[in-house]
Amino acid sequence: MKAFHASALAAFAISLYLIWLPAESEAAADQIQEIREEQTKSRQQQEINQTRQREQLDQLQRDQQLHQSQQQLDQLKQQQSLRSESEQQQQQLNQTQQRLDQLKNEQQLNRLKTELELNRIQREQNPSRQKEQLRQLQIEQQMNLLKDQQNKLQLQQNLNRQLTPLGRRSP
């Protein structure tokens, strides 16, 4: 009789173990999934932060270039007023100033748009969609950087043309 009770108890223990094992496996699988999701979130947040830093650095460089152009333009204006050159050259300087102001405004607007877009991407719940949106933003940033460089080059060429009649060599 004792052997029967012992075997019944053993069968009961084994059946409890078999019932409990799948539940424990699911809990472990859920924990692993949560860890993977956290790792993915962490990597994507790191990528967003790197994108922000890269954009800030690019923006600082663009601001510095515009500041240099503004200094050159101010110098030209001062020379212009000292030499009382032609009205046409003054008009060109004014147009260049307007273009420089426009570039500054465009850059400020782009900076704000990028920050808003990064904030929106950061709130995205779907990791693959977030990654794709971040990749798209990085492409747009590169295109904006190239456009800004082209505009800066055109502005610099205009400044150089305006410097030449004043007897200065272009930098």
Task: Tell me if 60 is assigned to some domain.
Answer: yes
- Report yes or no on 171 lying in a domain: no
pLDDT tens digits along 48-79: 899 889 888 888 888 888 888 888 888 887 77
Q: How many residues does the chain have?
A: 171
Domain carrying residue 20? 2-166
Who's near 15: CB < 8 A, 6+ residues apart?
none
Q: What does the alpha-carbon distance between residue 106 and residue 99 come to, in Å, rounded to a whole number?
A: 10
Tell me if 71 is assigned to some domain: yes
Residue 120 lies in a domain: yes
Among the ranges 5-14, 122-131, 158-167, which has the highest mean pLDDT value? 122-131
Tens digit of each residue's pLDDT (9 = 90 or more) over 104-122: 899 899 999 999 999 999 9
Q: Is residue 63 part of a domain?
A: yes
| Mean pLDDT of the residues in the chain | 82
The answer to whether residue 157 is domain-embedded is yes
The answer on pLDDT for 170 being more than 90 is no
3-class secondary structure per residue, the chain: CHHHHHHHHHHHHHHHHHHHHHHHHHHHHHHHHHHHHHHHHHHHHHHHHHHHHHHHHHHHHHHHHHHHHHHHHHHHHHHHHHHCCCHHHHHHHHHHHHHHHHHHHHHHHHHHHHHHHHHHHHHCCCHHHHHHHHHHHHHHHHHHHHHHHHHHHHHHHHHHHHHHHHCCCCC
Q: Which residue has the higher pLDDT, 169 or 40?
A: 40
Task: State the pLDDT at residue 156.
Answer: 86
Domain count, the chain: 1
pTM over 0.85: no
Q: Decide if 19 is inside a domain.
A: yes
6 or 154: which carries more pLDDT confidence?
154
Is 56 contained in some domain?
yes
pLDDT score of 91 more than 50:
yes
